[in-house]
Amino acid sequence: MKPQGLPYDYDIWKNKAFPEKAKMICQAWAMQGFGAPKFIILFYTIKILLYGWVWLFFCSYSAELGTLANISKWWFKFEALGKGAAWTMLIESIGFGGASGPLTARYMPPLGGILYYLRPGTIKIPLFKKLADNRTIFDIALYVAFIYFLLKLCLASAITPQLLIPIIFLLPILGMLDTQLFLSARADVWFPILLVYIFPDQLKGGLIICWFGIWFWAAFSKLTASFPSVVSVMISNSPFMGFKWLKKLLYKNYPEDLRMRNSANYVAHFGTVIEFILPIILLLNACYFHNDTVGLYTIIGMSVFHLFIFSNFPMGVPLEWNVMMVYGAWVLFGNQHPTITVNLHSPLLIVILSISFFALPLLGNFFPKYISFLLSMRYYAGTWAYSVWLFKDDSKHEKLEPNIVKTSPDLRKQLSIFYDDKLALSILSRTMSFRLMHLPGRALVDLIPKAVNNLNAYYWMDGEMLAGEVIGWNFGEGHLHSEKLLNSIQKRCHFDKDELKVIMVESPQLHNGKMYWRIYDANEGMIENGYVYIKDLKEKMPWKVDE
C-alpha cells in the first residue's frame, strides 16, 4: 500500500519557486511515474476479472449462449459481443469503468458516477447554457430508467430492437441535460455499436465498420507532435518497465534535459504505424481475401498491441475498452464468420455510422474546441484540453467544501484514510508533473506566471482532479472543467478576487497545431487569453530555463 517516495523532501520542495518545483517534480516522474503502490496492480486486476465474471453471468441468461463450461461453443457469437458492449456501457455509466480507482484520483470511495447521478443538487454540465446546472429528481428518474433498461438488456434472453430502443432514446436526452452522462457512458463507442444491433440483417458489416473506425481514428489522432511525450510519460509510469536505463533513453539528457529524444519519437511512430496497418489488413482480409492465416496473425498483432497498453495501466485506466477491442477483433475478424461482408443498405444506419465514424472524428481533430476528444476518438494521443485551478491559501476548504453538494470528499481527506498528511500531499503533487511532462502542458511554464505572482500562495489542483471531486467523473475531457464548471462553482461559492485563478488550455488543432488558452479570475472573469503553437513547445523544457 505504500507509494514510492519522492527523491526529495516534500517540505523543502513546496517552498521552492515554480521553476525549481517543476524541475524537481518532472525529474521524479521521469524515473518513478506516479509512484503508485504495487497494490494498484492487484486492485485493477481483480476489477477486470470481476468485469469478465459478470459478463459470463449475463451471457448465461441468453438463449443462444451458455456458461463457462461450454464457452468454446458460444464466445464468438455476436450475441455475446453485444452483451459485452451493453455490460461495458452499464459499468461505465455507473462510474466503475475506466474512470475509477486510485489511478484516476479516486481513493475512497473508488468511484463517483452513480453516487452523484442519484443525488439531488449535484452539479451538472448541461449542453445548453439555459438548462439548469443542478441535478433534480427528474434527472435522477431519467438516469434510473436508463440504468434499468441497460440492466434489462444484459439479463435478456436475446438482444432485440425492442430492448435497445429505450436505451438509444434515453442516452441523448441525458446527454443534453448533462453532457458528462453521455460521455461517461462512453457513447462514442458503445452507443453506435449497440445501435447497429437494431439492424440484425446488417449486424456483421455494421460492427466491422465500428471496430475499424475506432482503430483508424485512434491511430489518426496520433499524427501530432504531442504523441511522443505521451509514450514517454506512459513508459515512465509503467509498473512493468522499471528499468532506469530504458527510461533515460526517452529523454535527451536526463536529468537536466527532459525534452523528447529521437528514441521516443521512433517508438511513438512505430506504434502509430502498427495501429494504422493492422486494422487495414484485417478489413481487407475480412472483405476480400479471406485468408485465415493472415487474419490469425494480424489479430494476434492487434491483441499484443492492446495488451501493451493494458499492461502499462495508463492514467484513466481504460482497461475494459482494451479488453472489448481485443475480444471484438477475435469475434469479427477471426475465421468463425468467413462470409462477412460490409453490406449496409439502411439509410438510417449509414447516416449514423457516417456521423459517428467520419464526421465527428474529422471535425473534432480540426476543430477540437467544439467536439469532445472522446467523440473525436483522439484516445491517448496527448491532445486533450486541460485546466489548472489555483486556490489561494485555504479558500478551497473555506468556500468550495461547504457550498458544493458532492459525495467524494477533498482528495487530501480521501488519502488521509491511508497516509499521513505530508505523504498525501506529496502524492497529489505529482499531478503537476503529469501535466507538465506532456507536450501541451509545457505551455504552463509561461502561463502560470501570467496567472499568479507567487504560486506558493496557491493550492494547485488539476482540472481532472477537481471534476472528479465536484461533478463525479473525469476521463481526460477538459471541456467538463472549463467555463461552465467555473461559473457553476462561482455561483455557489462566491470566491473573492484573486482567491481562485483558472488556466484553461484547448486541444491543438490538427492542421496548424494552434492551442488557445484563457486565464480566469473566478470573481473578475477572463483576465487574459491567447494561443501557442504545439511545434514551439517541442523544444521547451517542462520548467523555466534561465536564459
Span 161-183, average pLDDT: 97
On the question of pLDDT at 338 being above 60, the answer is: no
Beta bridge partners of 530: 517
Q: What is the model's pLDDT at position 260? A: 87
Tell me the mean pLDDT in the region 475-503.
Answer: 96
CA separation for the pair 4, 396 (Å, rounded): 27
Q: How far apart are CA 436 and CA 25, in angstroms?
A: 9
User: How far is Cα 185 from Cα 94, in angstroms, rounded to an integer?
Assistant: 8
Beta-strand relationship, 251-253 and 257-260: antiparallel
Q: How far is CA 410 from CA 121, 169, 434, 465, in A?
A: 18, 36, 20, 10
Say if CB 151 and CB 89 are below 8 A apart: no
Tens digit of each residue's pLDDT (9 = 90 or more) over 340-359:
566 788 999 999 999 999 99
For residue 546, what pLDDT band results from cuts at 50, 70 and 90? low
- Cβ of 193: how many Cβ atoms within 10 Å? 25
Residue 547 has pLDDT above 70, yes or no: no
Sheet holding 458-462, edge to edge: 458-462, 386-392, 500-505, 514-521, 525-533
CA distance 256 to 195: 52
Residue 525: what pLDDT? 96
Residue 275 clears pLDDT 70, i.e. is over it: yes
Mean pLDDT of 362-376: 94
Q: Is the pLDDT of residue 108 over 80?
A: yes
Q: How confident is the model at residue 394 (pLDDT cuts 50, 70, 90)?
A: very high
Average pLDDT over the chain, rounded to whole? 92
Q: What is the pLDDT of residue 337?
A: 63
Q: Which residue has the higher pLDDT, 92 or 383?
A: 92
Residue linked to cell 441525458: 174
- The whole-angstrom separation of Cα 263 and Cα 245 is 13
Query: Per-residue confidence at 155, pLDDT binned at 50, 70, 90?
Result: very high
| pLDDT exceeds 90 at position 502 | yes
Q: Are 180 and 125 in contact (CB under 8 A)?
A: yes
Is pLDDT of 422 > 70?
yes
pLDDT winner (highest mean) among 243-252, 471-480, 499-508: 499-508
Give 161 or 345, the one with higher predicted confidence.
161
3-class secondary structure per residue, 300-322: HHHHHHHHHHHHCCCCCCCHHHH
Does 289 have pLDDT greater than 90? no
DSSP 356-411: IIIIHHHHHHH-TTTS-TTTTT-TTSS---EEEEEEETTHIIIIIHHHS--SS--H
Q: What pLDDT, in 10s, does the model give residues 530-541?
A: 999 999 998 899
- Confidence (pTM): 0.93
Which range, 133-147, 284-298, 379-393, has the best average confidence (pLDDT)? 133-147
Q: Which residue has the cell 462566491?
A: 494
Percent of the chain with pLDDT over 90: 75
Decide if 429 contacts 13 (C-beta within 8 A): yes
| Lowest-confidence pick of 128-132, 235-239, 275-279 | 235-239
Identity of the residue numbered 269: H
Cell of 300: 494476434
pLDDT of residue 258: 92
Q: For 504, left (φ over 0), alpha (ψ -120 to 50), or beta?
A: beta
339: confidence class by pLDDT, cuts 50, 70, 90: low
Rounded to whole angstroms, what are the CA distances from 232 to 229, 235, 361? 5, 5, 25
Q: Which pLDDT tens digit goes with each residue over 205-260?
A: 899 999 999 999 999 988 888 888 888 888 888 877 767 888 888 899 999 999 98
Confidence category of residue 168, pLDDT binned at 50, 70, 90: very high
